[in-house]
Amino acid sequence: MGNNVNRMKWVSAFCSLTVATAVFAGCGKNSDESAGDSGKTGGDSGPVKITVMADLQTTEVPSDKIEKLLEEKTNAQFDIQWVPDGSYDEKFQAAFATGSLPQVVYLKNSASFVLLRDAIKNGQFWEIGPYLKDYPNLKNLNPQILKNTEVGGKIYTLYQERQPARSGLIYRKDWADKLGIPAPKTVDDLYNMLKKFKEADLAGGGKTIPLADRNDLVYGSFKTLSMYFGTPNNWGIQDGKLVPDFMTKGYMDTMKFMKKLRDEGLINQDFPVTSKTDQQNLMYTGRSGAYIGTMGDVKTMQEKTEKNVPGAVFDVTNEIAGVNGKPVTWGLSGYGTLIVFPKSSIKTEAELKKILGVMDQFYAADVANLLKYGVEGEHYTMKDGKVLPVSDSKLIEKEVRPYLNMALADTTNVKPSYYTMPVAEKANTLSNNAEKFMITDPTASLDSKTYNEKGARLQEQIKDATYQFIMGKIDEAGFQAAVKKWQNDGGQKIIDEFNESYKSSGGK
Amino acid sequence: MNNTALQGSPGAALRPKSGRWKRMVRNRYIYLMILPGLLYFILFKYIPMFGLIISFQDYQPYKGIMGSDWVGLEHFRRLFTDSEFWVIFKNTLVVFVVNIVFYFPVPIILAVMLNEVANSYFKRIVQTIVYVPHFLSWVIIVSISFVMLTMDGGIINELLAYFGFEPINFLMSSAWFRPIYVLQVIWREAGWGTIVYLAAMAAIDPGLYEAARMDGAGRFQQIWHITLPGIRTVVIVLLILKIGSVLDTSFEHIYLLLNSMNKNVAEILDTFVYTAGLKQGQFSFSTAVGLFKSVIGLILVMFSNWLAKKFGEEGIY
């Protein structure tokens, strides 16, 4: 018995030890965090401590080489939390809900921004508009783009510059040449090209999939194609009133076109569930001859495809005419993504000013070049006054590429790129030219309470119906029923609110 | 409780309350051992329940639970009047039924078959092979299925074409969603599920089999009259546990299979909570949906426990 009791004592000691460790571990973490918090605010001297949440679009977290240089140049100490692109929005929402967002938060894209408008209006984030004039670079930000980011007439965010109209067609020039097809100028040309690709079966064995698409109605083929059918960019003006794109004839025509492509086997049959990786693999392996998306992707596509398919040559175009006979494409509202400054983590105005001081330098040439290109002599060399990245693309991917998502300057204050590949330069030129004929979203700076609340969820219904139409699961009446349902579930309110906002902003 | 009552001193029967306390004091070290488990449940299961309050609020993160406005049953009203709600509710129950009816018996059959294998090397090899899929994540299993089932060069559709059949759009069809779902569950979990049954079978007295053989019982008669009754209690307990967990464990798997085309059968309460709550920031509404789901789960477990007792089994409480 005594033996037993002794053993029991050991057991209980062990148990309480386990529990104690667990409790202390919890405390330890908390005290760490609070130490970090006080560090951020305390002391005027020394580097500014900044916590950041950034979107990681590569597979691995980068080495801290550039981070160190960035800290040197900006006299700040960064604590960057890299969140994988695939789960960025979820992670953001979770951190937001629990009040644990860091001080500088990159949003995933403009769609994420819409979901935040309500919280912004409720004073959850710092308004930074009044401070911009005090900083050498921030005061020079483009007022038109800032206007597009306004919420209730106030500025809360800094924007990341992006070429606004990068979308276009990438296709196999060697295939087109072999079949005697010139660069497509109309959507009919495009259709005929795809059809000839299929008939000629240049991939062999009946395996040719002329157009490779993926599960994305915006950055995949659908939206770009819809422009050729006269569809507006998200919202358009009909008879002086704003209407959503899916209530226009152009949208219906685009769906019919996509359905035709699928029925005739001119597009991958499973495109609504195809990932971007699988889509690009169709190109890399030489099974597909056309790709609609960011034209700049042509560089990687050329490099990767010619390894598998010797003789593969790509070309790009975005000069495909719309219903009025002139080239047309869609454009972003001038920014790639935005950063917000949560009040939950930036406690005082003084702290905000310090952080803005650091972010200001992101637009200056020195930091902008570092984030976009890396270190001269290591990641790139200068040729004719232009940046030529080193040939070791793995090194770039590992050390530089992730920081591109943190870079805020992309067009102003950065050195021009030197293109070793003419087609990549062409893609860049075409994107620049497209700014003249691109169509932008008229609701970018407008506001609708209902849209902020449930616009995203309602949009999901339209997305489903669009796919179902293309797959032949519902007909035109079925699609109209889905639109009707959208209107009844709150869509009509969105239309009314946007129109009201549109009127009060002067109808422009 | 039954066991401790048996061990109790004679006095316990006379003064049950103080007797129980005495026993607890005497066995205090044993009781101490449940402390870590108890703490786990308090910390991670009971304290978070406090958060359920937000399903009756219009929760705004910056106002906090104390500061958010109360809206009563507004979120539940929205849920029950949502045009999609009944479809989602039905889908959830169907996933549940499909799991119980088509998946649950498979490990039992597999365990019986393994139990009948005489060659122990062969048995161990088979066991190892059927356990392996359990350690693959759903992402991998769904991806493998995707590659096999796609219409753009998937092996199944290539085979169908080779034998002259029309290709089948497995991935985006409402009709194929449930079969694919349950086959994947069986493929991943059936082997792992046999472990407990095999252990229970090992505990059956070999004398019973001997006696049965003497009486001239064949293989199937032995299985029917000895093996299966021998594991009956385990089967019932596992069934009740399964009923309690099915509603929670299917999320990741189904979310991966979900797409615009099969949404009418594949959207379940959990995926709905995820898209509405985490992706679109409707915290209060999704908490309300989650609470509703938990109530369903509780009812199912209580019902099955009651049923088990009706049939003279022990149940789990």
Probe site for chain A from B152, B180, B255 (most A CB atoms < 10 A):
B152
Between CA A107 and CA A55 the distance in angstroms is 8
Tell me the HSE value of B288 on the side-chain side, using a 13 A CA sphere. Answer: 21
Q: Are strands A290-294 and B69-70 parallel, antiparallel or unpaired?
A: unpaired
Domain presence at residue A27: no
**Structural domain total, chain A:** 2
**Residues in chain B closer than 8 A to A269 (CB atoms):** 151-152, 167, 169
The separation between CA B305 and the C-alpha centre of its own chain, rounded to angstroms, equals 15
**CA A486, A491, A493: angle at the middle one, nearest 5?**
150
Identify the CA nearest to A231 among candidates A200, A205, A195, A257. Answer: A257
According to DSSP, residue A417 is labeled B
Residues of chain A contacting B278 with CB distance shorter than 8 Å: 90, 93-94
Considering only CB atoms, which chain B residues are within 8 Å of A270?
Answer: 150-152, 169, 171-172
d(CA A431, CA A438): 10
The interaxial angle of helices A476-486 and A449-470, nearest 10 deg, is 170
How do beta strands A76-84 and A158-161 pair?
unpaired
Q: How many CB atoms lie within 10 A of CB B68?
A: 19
DSSP-assigned letters across all residues of B174-216: HHHHHHHHHHHHHHHHHHHHHHHHHHHHHTS-HHHHHHHHHTT
Residue A139 DSSP class: G
Class of domain B74-310 as given by CATH: mainly alpha
Chain A touched by B83 (CB under 8 Å): yes
Residue A344, domain extent: 44-162+335-414
Q: Judge: A273–B60 Cβ closer than 8 Å, yes or no.
A: no
How close does chain B come to A149, measured CA to CA in Å? 20
> What residue in B sits closest to A266 (Cα-Cα)?
B152
Asked if B276 and A273 come within 8 Å (Cβ–Cβ), the reply is: no
C-beta separation of A86 from A115 below 8 A: no
pLDDT in tens, A398-407: 899 999 999 9
Give the whole-angstrom CA distance, residue A400 versus residue B60.
38
pLDDT digits (tens, 9 = 90+) for B163-221: 989 889 898 889 999 999 999 999 999 999 999 999 999 999 999 999 999 998 888 99
Q: Judge whether B169 is closer than 8 Å to chain A, CB to CB.
A: yes
Residue B316 has pLDDT above 80, yes or no: no
- Same domain, yes or no, for A380 and A326? no
Between chains, do A471 and B153 touch, taking CB under 8 Å as contact? Answer: no
Burial classification of residue A385, based on how many CB atoms lie within 10 Å of its CB (0-12 exposed, 13-18 middle, 19 or more buried): exposed
Contact yes or no for A457 and B276 at CB 8 A: yes
A243 sits in which H/E element? strand A241-244
**Neighbour-count burial of A359, counting CB atoms closer than 10 A to its CB (0-12 exposed, 13-18 middle, 19+ buried):** buried
Asked if B279 lies within 8 A of A93 by C-beta distance, the reply is: yes
Domain-ending residue, one of A397, A414, A431: A414
Neighbouring C-beta atoms of residue A66, cutoff 10 Å: 19
In terms of domains, do A52 and A200 share one? no
Are residues A354 and A302 located together in one domain of the fold?
A: no
* Chain A residue nearest residue B61, CA to CA: A97
Encoded tokens for B38: 């108890």
Contacts of A463 in chain B (CB under 8 A): 260
Q: Are strands A211-212 and A329-330 parallel, antiparallel or unpaired?
A: unpaired
Q: Which of A272, A343, A344 sits opposite B259 (nearest CB)?
A: A272
Domain match, A405 and A320 both: no
If asked whether residues A282 and A311 sit together in one domain, one would say yes
Residues A379 and A248 in one domain: no
Rg (CA), chain B: 25
What residues 38-57 of chain B have any CB closer than 8 A to a CB of chain A? 39
Q: For A58, phi and psi rounded to 5 degrees?
A: -100, 175
> At B16, is the pLDDT very low, low, confident or very high (cuts 50, 70, 90)?
low
- A344: which chain B residues are within 8 Å (Cβ-Cβ)? 62
The per-residue pLDDT for B241 is 85
Query: How far away is chain B from the Cα of A474, in angstroms, using its nearest Cα?
Result: 10
pLDDT in tens, chain A (508 residues): 344 444 444 444 444 444 444 433 333 333 333 333 333 344 456 789 999 999 998 888 998 899 999 999 999 999 999 999 888 988 998 898 888 899 999 998 887 888 788 888 888 899 999 999 999 999 999 988 898 888 888 999 999 998 889 999 999 999 999 999 999 999 999 999 999 999 999 988 888 999 999 999 999 999 999 999 999 999 999 988 999 999 999 999 999 999 999 999 999 999 999 988 889 999 999 999 999 999 999 998 999 999 999 999 999 999 999 998 999 999 988 888 999 999 989 999 999 999 999 999 999 999 999 999 999 999 999 988 899 988 888 898 889 999 999 999 988 888 888 888 999 999 999 999 998 999 999 888 788 888 887 888 889 899 999 999 999 999 999 999 999 999 998 999 999 999 998 988 765 4
Residue B302 CA, distance from chain mean position: 15
Indicate the DSSP class of residue B44.
Answer: I
In CATH, what number is assigned to the domain containing residue A298?
Answer: 3.40.190.10
Q: For A37-46, which contacts have Cβ atoms below 8 Å and span 24 or more sequence positions?
A: A40/A103, A40/A351, A41/A347, A41/A348, A41/A351
- Tell whether A205 and A137 lie within a shared domain: no
Domain ranges of chain B: 1-33, 45-72, 74-310
Our CA-based measurement puts residue B44 at a distance from the nearest CA of chain A, in whole angstroms, of 13
Bridge-based pairing state of the strands A335-340 and A158-161: antiparallel
B128 close to A (CB below 8 A): no
What is the DSSP secondary structure assignment for residue A181, as one 8-state letter?
Answer: P
* Same domain for A456 and A495: yes
Query: In this structure, are A320 and A448 located in the same domain?
Result: yes
| Alpha helix ranges (H) inside B117-173 | 120-131, 138-149, 155-162
Instruction: Give the CA radius of gyration of chain A.
Output: 26
**Exposed / middle / buried, residue A265 (Cβ in 10 Å: 0-12, 13-18, 19+):** middle
Q: Whose structure tokens read 């009948």?
A: B116
In a domain, A424, yes or no: no
Residue B280 pairs in a beta bridge with: none
Partnered with residue A53 across adjacent β-strands are: A81, A105
Secondary structure (3-state) at A316: strand
Q: Is residue A417 within 8 Å of A372, Cβ to Cβ?
A: no
How far apart CA A167 and CA A179 sit, in angstroms, is 25
pTM of the model: 0.80
Domain match, A326 and A361 both: no
- Alpha-carbon span A434 to A233, nearest angstrom: 15
Calpha distance B182→B99 (Å, rounded):
7
Asked if A269 lies within 8 A of B152 by C-beta distance, the reply is: yes
A102 lies in some domain? yes
Q: Which residue of A has its CA nearest to B31?
A: A12
Chains A, B: CB pairs < 8 Å: 100
* Residue B101: DSSP 8-state: I
pLDDT of residue A507: 56
Contact by Cβ (8 Å): A474, A482: yes
Say if A8 falls within a structural domain: no
Q: Are A223 and A431 in contact (CB under 8 A)?
A: no
- Start-end of H helices in A201-266: 221-228, 249-263
Closest CA to A257 of A190, A325, A318: A190
- From A118, which residue of chain B is nearest by alpha-carbon distance? B60
Whether A9 sits inside 8 A of B29 (CB atoms) is yes
Interface test with B, best of A98, A270, A451 (most B CBs within 10 A): A270
Q: Is-contact A141 A90, C-beta < 8 A?
A: no
Q: Which residues of A touch B44 (CB under 8 A)?
A: none
Written as six digits, the tokens of B40 are 């786990």
A5 interaction partners in chain B (CB closer than 8 Å): 29
* B282 chain-A contacts, CB cut-off 8 A: 457
Pair (A177, A302) in one structural domain: yes
Nearest to A447 by CA among A506, A486, A500: A500
Kindly state whether residues A155 and A177 are assigned to the same domain. no
In a domain, A470, yes or no: yes
Q: How far is A415 from chain B (nearest CA, A)?
A: 37
Cβ contact A9–B278 (<8 Å): no
